[in-house]
Chains A and B, each alone.
Chain A
Amino acid sequence: MSVLLEGDEQLERELTGEPIAAPATGSVLLHIAIAGAIVAYYIIGGFYKSNLWGGPSSGGAIQVNLVSSAIPLPSDQPPNQNVLATETPSPAPAPPEPKAAPKVDEQAIPISGKKVQPKPQVAPKNQQKVQQPVQQNRAQYGEQAANNLPRTTQGQTSPGPTSVTQGDFGSRFGWYVDNINRKMSQVWNRYEVDPRTPKGTRVFLIFTIGRDGVPGNPQLDRSSGSPTLDRSCLRAVQRVDTFGALPGGYSGSSLNVSYYCEY
């Protein structure tokens, strides 16, 4: 018993020797202060955050893609000189040219007794009756490799189908015709064309260029059969502000241009 009492006294002495109330209170207050600080930090932080740029939540969804053209810089689109790019893709070879009729020399004196039998004229058959549907799984060959050509070898522009039917504008001011080609290629957006349009399809337009270089009166000359291609080519002309003033050496009041967009 006495041992127990001694033990109690000892315990009491130990307890009274280290007063717990003040540190405990301090600890509780400190914890409350820390909790309060955390709460205050979030409240104030959240307040300031919303006052600045808010959270990193994204708003409405907008489709974004790559820009393709219309910056007035030359694009790396290579010239399309692919002989396979025709308006009528077909696995069969092109129909042969109709045979020229044998020349009859009208000056020649007919030999008496010799009978000339005229050969019956056979109309060339149109071998390609049904246009083949465009195959989506065709191998790409020919033109694409031109992308890998180094730029410095692009020294000469191909004359291509650029030709002049009247006057000598094309031969005197070839650089201006190149200007038209370059500018139109820049502003024509190929992505506006329905991708099902056969490669090599052409739409022909005509428009005029005034002395100040402003294009006017664009109209369809020959439709490509693809409304999207027709429209994109017309839009391209409308998008051009100016081709640059017509050369001073040219005396005409305006220039007629026949232009094609080839998909």
Chain B
Amino acid sequence: MIAKLPRVLLPLVALILPFSAPMIAQDWVHAGTNLGNARIRLGVADFKAADSDPATPALKATFDATLFSDLENAGIFDMVSKSMAPVGTPGSPQEINLSQWSAAPASAEMIAFGALRTDNGRLAVYGWLDDAHNTQNPQVLTKQYSEAASQDMARTIAHRFADEIILRLGGGINGIAETKIYFVSNRTGTKEIWAMDYDGQNQHQITHLGSISISPRISPDNSRIAFASLGKEGWAIRMYSLDLGRLVSFPGGSTGGNNQSPAWSADGSKIAFSSGRTGDPEIWLADASGGNLHKVTSFRGPDVSPTWNPRTNAQIAWVSGRTGLPQIYVMDQDGANIQRMTDGGYAISPSWSPNGQFLTFSWDRKYGPGAPGGYDIYVMDIASKRWMQLTHDAGVNDFPSWAPDGRHIVFERNMGGHVQIWSMLADGTQQQELTHGGNNFMPNWSWK
């Protein structure tokens, strides 16, 4: 066809062709499994202070420490230790020497760097992420932030930049640096609901009821907390609005008879909880407003601790004692298709992974007098019922809760009478203690 065109048009066609091709064509890439699944070696340069404001060094120290710890906690990076990083603080793509970073001992594949400055009470941060092995087009990410100059905002900006890097390099899964953990603490004398950042910072009290409040569950939109509280009518499910800063009514949860362990459905429209109002503790469902109550289990023996499948929003895992010791079961949300998951021992406190594939729970596999069992955190693949033990020989571990990225689990560990909140990666590594004052129980990771 080209041959038929007049000769004068040929140079024109040749000129247009290379430009039009990439716009309509789709690129091909070839990849394979044996290319390794190693962690990305990531270097984080200290950010450059771009002015001499006296407030900048303190903010920069907070920012650098938070960014490094967020990326280290992400579980997908092999961090270049600060002592191995090349000297100098590159503040812009022109100032960075990629070959210096990609060479040993840093051996970085990716480098995060940037600059920050305070200007009229505003903190401005410029962040870059470069691919060290791609000298032609190194830039993977460029970000700019401007917030009020405060320690809190320096931490927040670091969280956001870390989450951007994790989203980009972690295969499209959002980071958790801005998520919260809700838990129970007795450090004021009574058990109240508290909240903290995912790394244990910024711990603050939410409820002031002066009673006993346990098992907090945050709603998927982060607006309300459902929890169980001891009142005049015994244990009742209560609802605290974070937007209003006070309790809101939840009528279905206060009708006598031990109402406990609430759980939100993934769309936030329903709440499952355990109630003994008919004599035996059974699983009940209610709308988020507390109406439209109905019972979904009817079997002799207690049924408690429901948790929704966040992926399908159509199944519930819970603990049932219908065969004796408590075991983990799974059913559809209307009570059909009941399936037992654990084969024995004493299994409690299930939490469903965000991708719907796994359950995590606390399990004493050798329960009984004289049996050398301990309560440890386990993860089970629901389809194959294969499981993996995450904690070993370290106190009594209970109440695991998945992080929204599916990579982290927060749980309660009782060591020598001191009960604290710990977090770890979902393969059991990187265990770290998040709380230190008083005793802290029943953590629940927010949905986003």
B340 surroundings in chain A (CB, below 8 A): 59-60, 62
Cβ of A64 under 8 Å from chain B = yes
Q: Are B407 and A188 in contact (CB under 8 A)?
A: no
**In the complex, what distance in Å separates the CA atom of A172 from the CA atom of B29?**
12
Q: Are B29 and A169 in contact (CB under 8 A)?
A: yes
Cβ of B27 under 8 Å from chain A = yes
**In the complex, what distance in Å separates the CA atom of A48 from the CA atom of B243?**
44
**In the complex, what distance in Å separates the CA atom of A69 from the CA atom of B169?**
19
Cβ of B302 under 8 Å from chain A = yes
Beyond A66-B387, A73-B407, whether A158 also contacts B35 by CB under 8 A is yes
Q: Are B171 and A63 in contact (CB under 8 A)?
A: no
B386 surroundings in chain A (CB, below 8 A): 64-68
Contact string against A for B residues 81-116, beta-carbon threshold 8 Å, 1 for contact and 0 otherwise: 000000000000000000000001001111000000
**In the complex, what distance in Å separates the CA atom of A163 from the CA atom of B35?**
12
Considering only CB atoms, which chain B residue lies closest to A259 in the complex?
Answer: B31
Cβ of B418 under 8 Å from chain A = no
A68 surroundings in chain B (CB, below 8 A): 386
Considering only CB atoms, which chain A residue lies closest to B171 in the complex?
Answer: A183
Q: Are B38 and A256 in contact (CB under 8 A)?
A: no
B385 surroundings in chain A (CB, below 8 A): 62-65
B136 surroundings in chain A (CB, below 8 A): 171-172
Q: Are A178 and B40 in contact (CB under 8 A)?
A: yes
Binds B, one of A49-57, A86-94, A105-113, A129-137: A49-57
Q: Are B75 and A73 in contact (CB under 8 A)?
A: yes
Q: Are B172 and A213 in contact (CB under 8 A)?
A: yes
Q: Are B425 and A73 in contact (CB under 8 A)?
A: yes
A247 surroundings in chain B (CB, below 8 A): 140
Beyond A71-B407, A157-B109, A258-B30, whether A174 also contacts B131 by CB under 8 A is yes
Do most interface residues of chain A lie in helix, strand or loop, or is the interface mixed?
loop
Cβ of A144 under 8 Å from chain B = no
**In the complex, what distance in Å separates the CA atom of A175 from the CA atom of B112?**
14
Cβ of B405 under 8 Å from chain A = yes
Interface size on A, residues (CB 8 A): 85
> Residue A185 contacts which of B37, B341, B346 (CB distance < 8 angstroms)?
B37
**In the complex, what distance in Å separates the CA atom of A253 from the CA atom of B27?**
9
Q: Are A54 and B32 in contact (CB under 8 A)?
A: no
Q: Are B31 and A177 in contact (CB under 8 A)?
A: yes
Q: Are B30 and A166 in contact (CB under 8 A)?
A: no
Cβ of A128 under 8 Å from chain B = no
Binds B, one of A11-19, A29-37, A119-127, A236-244: A236-244
Cβ of A198 under 8 Å from chain B = no
Tell me the minimal C-beta distance from A251 to chain B in angstroms. 6
Tell me the minimal C-beta distance from A56 to chain B in angstroms. 5
**In the complex, what distance in Å separates the CA atom of A59 from the CA atom of B385?**
16
Tell me the minimal C-beta distance from B170 to chain A in angstroms. 7
Contact string against A for B residues 410-445, beta-carbon threshold 8 Å, 1 for contact and 0 otherwise: 000000000000000111000000000000000000
Considering only CB atoms, which chain B residue lies closest to A143 in the complex?
Answer: B34
Contact string against B for A residues 145-176, beta-carbon threshold 8 Å, 1 for contact and 0 otherwise: 00000011011111011111111111111110
Cβ of B256 under 8 Å from chain A = no
B38 surroundings in chain A (CB, below 8 A): 74, 78-79, 151, 154, 157
Cβ of A208 under 8 Å from chain B = yes
Do most interface residues of chain B lie in helix, strand or loop, or is the interface mixed?
loop
**In the complex, what distance in Å separates the CA atom of A56 from the CA atom of B34?**
46
Q: Are A160 and B34 in contact (CB under 8 A)?
A: yes
Contact string against B for A residues 219-255, beta-carbon threshold 8 Å, 1 for contact and 0 otherwise: 0000000000000000000000111110101111111
Q: Are A154 and B41 in contact (CB under 8 A)?
A: yes
Considering only CB atoms, which chain B residue lies closest to A170 in the complex?
Answer: B29
Cβ of B16 under 8 Å from chain A = no
A52 surroundings in chain B (CB, below 8 A): 302, 321
Q: Are A56 and B368 in contact (CB under 8 A)?
A: yes
**In the complex, what distance in Å separates the CA atom of A193 from the CA atom of B131?**
35
Q: Are B31 and A186 in contact (CB under 8 A)?
A: no
Q: Are B172 and A245 in contact (CB under 8 A)?
A: yes
> Residue A58 contacts which of B36, B104, B168, B324 (CB distance < 8 angstroms)?
B324
Q: Are B27 and A55 in contact (CB under 8 A)?
A: no
Considering only CB atoms, which chain B residue lies closest to A75 in the complex?
Answer: B37
Cβ of B126 under 8 Å from chain A = no
Cβ of A77 under 8 Å from chain B = yes
Beyond A175-B169, A258-B29, whether A54 also contacts B35 by CB under 8 A is no
> Residue B28 contacts which of A65, A157, A165, A184 (CB distance < 8 angstroms)?
A165
Beyond A64-B387, A67-B381, A179-B171, whether A167 also contacts B28 by CB under 8 A is yes
Q: Are A259 and B30 in contact (CB under 8 A)?
A: yes
Residues of B within 8 A of A (CB): 22-23, 25-41, 75-76, 78, 104, 107-110, 131, 133-134, 136-137, 140, 167-173, 301-302, 321, 323-327, 340-346, 355, 357-358, 367-368, 379-381, 384-388, 405-407, 425-427
28 A-B residue pairings within 8 Å (CB atoms): A56-B367, A57-B325, A58-B324, A58-B344, A59-B340, A64-B342, A64-B385, A66-B388, A72-B405, A72-B406, A73-B407, A75-B37, A78-B38, A154-B39, A154-B41, A155-B41, A155-B107, A157-B38, A160-B32, A160-B35, A162-B35, A242-B171, A243-B172, A244-B167, A252-B23, A257-B31, A260-B32, A262-B33
What are the 8 closest A-B residue pairs judged by CB atoms, nearest first?
A155-B107, A244-B172, A59-B323, A79-B36, A167-B27, A58-B344, A169-B27, A54-B324
Residues of A within 8 A of B (CB): 52-68, 70-75, 77-81, 151-152, 154-158, 160-175, 177-186, 188, 202, 208, 213, 241-245, 247, 249-262
